[in-house]
Amino acid sequence: MTQGAGQGPAMRTDTLRDFRVPVTEPAAYAVSSGNPGGAPVYGEYPAYYDDGTPAVPPQPGYAPAPTAPPAAPPAAPPASHPAHATSQDPEDDDFEGYTPTHRDLPIIGRGAVGGPGDTVQVQYVPQEAAADGPGPLYVVGDVHGYLDELVTELHAQGLIDAERRWSAGNARLWFLGDFTDRGPDGIGVIDLVMRLSAEAAAAGGYCKALMGNHELLLIGAKRFGDTPVVSGAGTASFQAAWLLNGGQRSDMERLQDVHLQWMSRLDAAVLEEDHLLLHSDTTAYLDYGDSIEDVNDTIHELLNRGDADITWDLFRKFTKRFAFRDEGTGPQAVRELLGTYGGSRVVHGHSPIPYLLGEVGTEDGDESRGPEAVNGPHVYAEGLAIAMDGGVTMAGKLLVVQLPLND
């Protein structure tokens, strides 16, 4: 099976060939700390975007031309963020030897997930918000360009009205990343999220987003195109990786500077009501700092260097997955993240629930319970992790749920 590569009409594409790169670790980076220059708060609605059509014209065609990287902020005294060594890395063990053309999501047997009782699937039950406190908290799993499905789910939860306008007052909404690729309208998804961010803020709530590996992929494809990067397995490029991972021609044609600037300012991690929100089910976040603030500042600084190899390494690390899945090492990996950054549960996207459950079909078409059986988030790793990617790219469900879960 092959991914959609931006050729012809957009269609639902399979996720089996999700891009994978070698797992060798680079040296730790020395980065600037703090928020120099009073830059905008990362992940929030940018002041330069309005409700009309941005003035920047779309780029012709889908082949990205290199663009000038954003200017780096004034340097503050450097602070080193050493990598955190761990005794075992289940992510690395699972994918030893993978190259950019191998499949990143192999068929997973039920035994690989853990014993009975190790995982549960939770049906979403609405919770009432406190009358005098902040509004209810919602999270959204991977969207991957499926704008219509997103609109349907947001409307079903009362977050938007029939005109796709914010209608949830002081509610709080977090997207867990991966807005584009594979689906038909990734730029439409980004435009909707950006507009809802302004509307929610005006109503006393907020709509924010985290950076996923596909945001890094799209930024790299636009900035660096076919520029060779150090992959550890021969020549690679962001353009080739973007195409392999379902990059859509229409998205690249409509991608504008305002979208790139918004994506590059997204945070990688946040703590909300004792929930540690991340995109990827990986411990790679530990390589970038000992606090959430350090992680976000480090990743922003590295991304703003405009260096293809550094951006590739960010993409490579946040493409890792399944760190929490193994019955023996998974809970320990989650506890390491929670012990470092706080919270009592990790909430993530990135890895489709059908693969975590081992309920996907085999290559010969034998499928007793497919992605369509997913109808809610998946709690696993001794109850410490909540998976939110319902597998919309696999005919599954795009999940929009309220936290905390009633389980």
Residue 193 structure tokens:
């999220």
CB 183 within 8 A of CB 392: yes
How far is Cα 140 from Cα 279, in angstroms, rounded to an integer?
11
DSSP run (H or E) holding 310 = helix 308-317
Position 299 scores a pLDDT of: 98
Position 360 scores a pLDDT of: 61
Position 350 scores a pLDDT of: 98
- Alpha-helix residue ranges (DSSP H) falling in 126-269: 147-156, 186-202, 213-224, 238-244, 249-254, 257-264
Q: Cis before residue 404, ω within 30 degrees of 0?
A: yes
Position 234 scores a pLDDT of: 67
**74 C-beta neighbours (distance < 10 Å), count:** 8
Position 24 scores a pLDDT of: 35
Torsion 97-13-224-227 (CA) sign: positive
113-147 exposure pattern, b = at least 16 Cβ within 10 A, e = fewer: bbeeebbebeebeeeebeeeeebbbbbbbbbbbbb
For 26, 118, 119, 283, the CA distances from 340, given in Å and listed in that order, are 22, 24, 24, 11
Position 132 scores a pLDDT of: 59
β-strand pairing of 172-175 with 206-209: parallel
- Alpha-helix residue ranges (DSSP H) falling in 78-208: 90-94, 147-156, 186-202
Phi/psi at 14 (nearest 5 deg)? Answer: -75, 155
23-60 exposure pattern, b = at least 16 Cβ within 10 A, e = fewer: beeeeebebbbebeeeeeebbbbeeebeeeeeeeeebe
How far is Cα 186 from Cα 214, in angstroms, rounded to an integer?
11
Position 54 scores a pLDDT of: 36
Helix/strand/coil percent split, the chain, to 5: 30, 10, 60
Q: What is the pLDDT along the chain (407 residues), one digit of tens a residue?
A: 333 333 344 444 443 334 433 333 333 433 333 333 333 333 333 322 333 333 333 333 334 444 444 444 444 444 433 333 333 444 544 443 333 334 444 333 333 333 333 334 444 334 444 445 789 999 999 999 999 999 999 999 999 999 999 999 999 999 999 999 999 999 999 999 999 999 999 999 999 999 999 999 999 999 999 999 987 666 799 999 999 999 999 999 999 999 999 999 999 999 999 999 999 999 999 999 999 999 999 999 999 999 999 999 999 999 999 999 999 999 999 999 999 999 999 999 999 999 998 866 443 444 445 676 788 999 999 999 999 999 999 989 999 999 999 87
Q: What is the DSSP letter of 206?
A: E
Nearest to 278 by CA among 289, 286, 268, 266: 268
Position 72 scores a pLDDT of: 47
Give all strands (DSSP E) within 84-186, no chain letters. Answer: 120-121, 137-140, 172-175
Residue 375 structure tokens:
């109808």
CB 197 within 8 A of CB 207: yes
pTM equals: 0.72
- Token match 């639902």: residue? 12
Nearest to 238 by CA among 313, 321, 144, 350: 313
CB 220 within 8 A of CB 245: no
